[in-house]
């Protein structure tokens, strides 16, 4: 398999341009949109991944024990506001929130703001 390594546009970009870039990018790097600029983010360390795994397990167990239907996700690209798409270490969201995000963004993004 051959990877296509697209380069991000230089300077501020729109959310649509960011989506187009991600759709055409098949490299190993992870990207975020911060203040309208596309930025590569570093891979987490092994310790960081272990902490995320432990917290994810504990949160899922807590939600299960308390019969809560919330969903725990890791490294999901989320819209945090205008010109801001970030990958939080952990995301806990109601299923309805993720379902609405799927409808709006074709399974790619979540939104942390109600009407976006």
Across all residues in the chain, what is the average pLDDT? 76
The two structure tokens encoding residue 84: 């801001």
CB of 36 closer than 8 Å to CB of 16? no
| CA–CA dist 12, 39 (Å, integer) | 11
Tokens of 33: 């949109």
Between vectors from CA 8 to CA 77 and to CA 2, what angle results, nearest 5°? 85
For residue 3, what pLDDT band results from cuts at 50, 70 and 90? very low
- Give CATH for domain 15-111: 3.90.1570.10
Query: How far separated are the first and last CA of the chain, in Å rounded?
Result: 37
What's the confidence (pLDDT) of residue 38? 79
* Total-model pTM: 0.59
Domain ranges in the chain?
A: 15-111
Asked if 97 contacts 70 with a C-beta cutoff of 8 angstroms, the reply is no
Residues 61-102: tens digit of each pLDDT: 999 999 999 989 887 888 877 778 888 888 898 888 776 665
Q: Measured between alpha carbons, how far is 95 from 50 in angstroms, rounded to an integer?
A: 25
């Amino acid at each position: 398999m051959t990877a296509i390594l697209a380069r991000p546009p230089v300077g501020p970009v729109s959310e649509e341009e960011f989506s187009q870039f991600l759709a055409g990018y098949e490299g190993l790097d992870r990207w975020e949109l911060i203040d309208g600029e596309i930025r590569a983010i570093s891979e987490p360390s092994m310790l960081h991944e272990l902490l995320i795994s432990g917290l994810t397990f504990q949160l899922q167990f807590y939600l299960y024990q308390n019969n809560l239907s919330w969903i725990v996700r890791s490294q999901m690209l989320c819209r945090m506001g205008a010109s801001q798409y970030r990958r939080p270490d952990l995301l806990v969201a109601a299923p309805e929130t993720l379902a609405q995000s799927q409808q709006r963004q074709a399974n790619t993004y979540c939104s942390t703001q109600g009407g976006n």
